[in-house]
Amino acid sequence: MTEIVAVNKVQAAVLRFVAWLDRYGETSYDHQSYFASDLGRSAKALYYRHRLLGTLAVSPMIFSEAFVPGARRLFWKRQRFPIADAHYAMGFAFLSRVLGEEQYYRRAVHFLEVLKESRCPGYERYCWGYPFSWETRTGTMKEGTPLVTTVPYVYEAFREVYQIDRDQKWLEIMQSIAQHALLDYRDSATSPNASTCSYNPDPNDQGGVINASAYRAFLLTRAAVDFSEDKYLKVAERNLNFVLESQNQDGSWYYSTDGQRDFVDHFHTCFVLKALAKIELLTGNGECTKAIQRGVRYYVENLFSKDGLPKPFSHRPRLTVYRCELYDCAECINLAVLLRGRFSALDDFLLVVVNRDEWQKPDGSFRSRQLLIGWDNTPMHRWAQSQMFRSLCFLLFQDKQSDKLERVSQEQTV
């Protein structure tokens, strides 16, 4: 009875969210809205070059984020985000299969059509990135630069809809995305059997970001199975080995192996573990299994607070102005559903996160962050309204699949 009530509760939350999305629209402000303008990027660049002066320059944005988060609208504009569109496409595809309603399938197709139009210009193959320029430690990443951390989600979005309608045009785009992932990123050897991949197609990008290689390893493994192409698998295996070899003795992963970004946070840990779980499911790789076991042990022991909610960092890179954020909750659900039934502590945390009603506002949207004082209630599609929607729809879909398997098993027993 408890499980049925939980599923009904999740379904009701999802439908409230859909009604909110219809009213609010498909553009939003973002976590990076503070730093998307020329002024914001200049302040962030100064922070990277001169920590003291840069801290003074970014302090108004940090203060606003901590105490007046709604003021981000003064810094930048509402935009559409491809990574969010991909999550919405997947969520609606799952929902259409759970409820059997045509309207949700059509909504999923709508987001795919939007993604076709928002691909990065100037590239032969289908690819996506951010709709704003992003200041990094090494310079400005221009708007429309493909990102290996975005592209796999779009591939999955097209694939989920293809599972429903078998439309060949989706398959052709999937193949183009796979070719982009194979050919347009740089690999740098880190051992005889491993390579790190670049974050974007910049030939000067040396790689080292662990979740980037995990994403690419998964995407190319998925494509190898989907298209029966060993060429994808050969590259995927080297990226996978980089991820496996980069795992720390305690089971954690730093954000990067560059010796500078050695923080450990919640959602990047989830990204890595999700990729390993998906690769393990596709290939049965025993090394993935071992890494998952060590990684989940670290994850449940170090990345949750006493109240059972996700903790942003176990290793902080800087002072944080919030207690918990929606992105961490969404990725916790995604990971826990993928690994459901294998780790009792993770199953327990799943129930805690799903059952915290205060995260959904009366209008149906989700709160973005629990701040040190109060909440950030600014709805941001990329951070992480879409991720939470997708994770809850995925939970409903997996529960329905489990029910089907259980019914089949009972019928066979009879």
Sign, CA dihedral 74-133-239-222, equals: positive
Strand order in the sheet with 369-371: 322-325, 369-371, 375-376
The predicted pLDDT at position 404 comes to 57
Q: Rounded to 5 degrees, what angle do the CA atoms 190, 224, 343 make?
A: 75
Q: Residue ranges of the chain with pLDDT lower than 50?
A: 1-2, 4-5, 405-414
Please state whether 156 falls in left (phi above 0), alpha (psi between -120 and 50) or beta: alpha
Residue 15 CA to residue 403 CA, distance in Å, equals: 21
What DSSP state is assigned to residue 142?
Answer: -
Q: How many CB atoms lie within 10 A of CB 202?
A: 16
The predicted pLDDT at position 60 comes to 85
The predicted pLDDT at position 317 comes to 78
Residue 133 CA to residue 270 CA, distance in Å, equals: 26
| Concatenated DSSP letters of 152-192 | HHHHHHHHHHHHHH--HHHHHHHHHHHHHHHHSS-EEEEET
Exposed/middle/buried for 117, CB within 10 Å: 0-12, 13-18, 19+?
exposed
Residue 288 CA to residue 190 CA, distance in Å, equals: 19
E strands within 280-404? 313-315, 322-325, 369-371, 375-376
Residue 340 CA to residue 332 CA, distance in Å, equals: 11
Question: What's the token pair of residue 346?
Answer: 């993770």
Name the 3-class secondary structure at 413. Answer: helix
Residue 197: phi, psi to the nearest 5?
-105, 160
Q: Contact, 365 vs 24, CB < 8 A? A: yes
Q: Contact, 128 vs 147, CB < 8 A? A: yes
Q: Contact, 226 vs 159, CB < 8 A? A: yes
Residue 48 CA to residue 229 CA, distance in Å, equals: 42
pTM: 0.94
Name the 3-class secondary structure at 411. Answer: helix
